[in-house]
Amino acid sequence: MQKQKDDFHNSPLGGTATGNSIKILAPATIANLVCGFDVLGLALNYPRDEMHLTLNKEPGIRLRHTDIYNLSNVPEQNVAGVSLLELMQELNNNCGFELIINKHIKPGSGLGSSAASAAGSVVAANHLLGNIFSKEDLVRFAMAGEKLASGVKHADNISPCIYGGVTLIRSIFPLDIISLPAPAMFVAVVHPQIEVKTSDAREILRKEVLLKDAIKQWGNIAGLVAGFMKNDYALISRSLEDVIIEPVRSMLIPGFDDVKKRSVEAGALGGGISGSGPSIFMLCEKESTAKKVEKIMKDVYENTGLLYNTYVTTINNEGIVVSSE
């Protein structure tokens, strides 16, 4: 937490922030970035949730959705609400918030929908309160939302959502977030509309893994980090391999192997399951390749009878941004 907090505590509602409103855009994110299960994530430029937050003198949180997803409007049962409550516990005053959420990141898509709500609410609140909290504080608050959504406090969606770009969560307790430089990349995404619950996707994993596989995995994540930092697309491509999680979880996603094999043949650097699925992403150096990959994704799912949607986007380096005040 930053030093300003004490100054804030001396004024009833954070000084100039009283009664202010803000609109923010919170990006979709890809967690479990191939060999970086539980530790690497990145932010996307599309889709993004819109959130409108007003700081009130009346205590408490009122929230509502203008989207179609029927999420709870009860703060204690809503990831954005829970995250705001977590933040408010560290405020020594009786302010309140009114939050209007217009989600574009479909819940259950594996693209960090809950993280966008959780992170968006606290980033917006922090802005209205005069930026009294550090980014790390905000991640901490938003993890309460992730816990509500998935049962586990994880930060690999929230961190890229707040910091932008590629982030490494070296450790959760204590929190240690590292922003990693990475070259420009295009990202092709397909969301086959089947349900994969995060909790199920966790249970399917073995509690133990072979040491030789773990060694392969940490060789790959080391290569991936080096590839990002050296702008070495070939090294990134060679390192985008997950020998532990993907072989198990990909069984939950019909079409996965086909999409991946054909995408790599078409020139994608590599990719995998976004978060715990069901969305699949492929990283590409060129936009033209990403568009080819998107066609492959359409082709694969056109033949399955599943509902699906696809798009091509880029890495979002800004994280959550203020859209208007």
Binding site for a second copy (CB under 8 A): 35-40, 168-171, 176, 178, 180, 205-212, 214-226, 229-230, 235, 238-239, 244
Which residue has tokens 């009833």?
12
Report helix angle 135-150 to 113-128, nearest 10. 140
Question: Minimum distance from CB of 171 to a second copy (Å)?
Answer: 6
Q: Is 29 a catalytic residue?
A: no
Q: Which is nearer to a second copy, 146 or 294 (CB)?
A: 146
Question: Minimum distance from CB of 208 to a second copy (Å)?
Answer: 4
Rounded-to-integer distance, Cα 270 and Cα 186, Å: 11
Q: Which is nearer to a second copy, 195 or 203 (CB)?
A: 203
| H or E element that contains 15 | none
Nearest to 49 by CA among 150, 118, 148: 118
Q: Tell me if 229 sits within 8 A of 173, measured CB to CB.
A: no
| Structure letter (DSSP) for residue 286 | S
Single out the catalytic residue among 198, 289, 310, 313. Answer: 198
Q: Give me the sheet containing 308-314, strands edge to edge.
A: 270-273, 280-284, 186-192, 308-314
Strands 96-102 and 60-65, how do they pair? parallel
Q: Which is nearer to a second copy, 126 or 239 (CB)?
A: 239
Q: Which is nearer to a second copy, 56 or 239 (CB)?
A: 239
Single out the catalytic residue among 29, 50, 86, 146. Answer: 146
Q: Is 16 a catalytic residue?
A: no
Which residue has tokens 């699925």?
277
Q: Which is nearer to a second copy, 112 or 223 (CB)?
A: 223
Question: Minimum distance from CB of 87 to a second copy (Å)?
Answer: 26
Question: Minimum distance from CB of 164 to a second copy (Å)?
Answer: 16
Q: Which is nearer to a second copy, 230 or 261 (CB)?
A: 230
Question: Minimum distance from CB of 231 to a second copy (Å)?
Answer: 12
Question: Minimum distance from CB of 177 to a second copy (Å)?
Answer: 10
The full DSSP string for 170-195 is: EETTTTEEEEE-----EEEEEEE---
The full DSSP string for 116-171 is: HHHHHHHHHHHHHTTS-S-HHHHHHHHHHHHHHHHSS---TTHHHHHH-SEEEEEE
Query: Does residue 174 have a cis peptide bond before it, meaning omega lies within 30 degrees of 0?
Result: yes
| H or E element that contains 297 | helix 287-302
Residues classed as catalytic: 146, 198
